[in-house]
Amino acid sequence: MLELFSKPHCGPCTGIKNYLESRNADFKIHDVTAEPDALERLKDLGYIQTPVVFDTHTGDHWYGFDPTKIDTAITAANALELSVH
């Protein structure tokens, strides 16, 4: 699963969300302005701005919109899911 650390009125955040939806990705959005724990996690990862994407399978994370990384994470998650079933 991917986690998107986001905030309202963030164009790049919306772009990543839309991209994830278009890929039918398994993801969760964390609004750092409404979830204090999400803001702390973001800071613990070393970031002070959104958007940040976190891959729960690998622990990888990155700032900004990177379709190559997103697609790689989705492909790996789908392969893992298939191997479990």
Average model confidence (pLDDT) for the chain?
A: 93
User: Structural domain tally of the chain?
Assistant: 1
Task: Report whether pLDDT(85) > 60.
Answer: no
Residue 68, domain extent = 2-84
Model pTM score: 0.91
- What pLDDT, on the 0 to 100 scale, is given for residue 83? 66
What CATH number does the domain containing 52 carry?
A: 3.40.30.10
How confident is the model over 46-61, as pLDDT tens digits?
Answer: 999 999 999 999 999 9
pLDDT mean over 5-14: 97
Count CB atoms within 10 A of the CB of residue 51.
Answer: 24
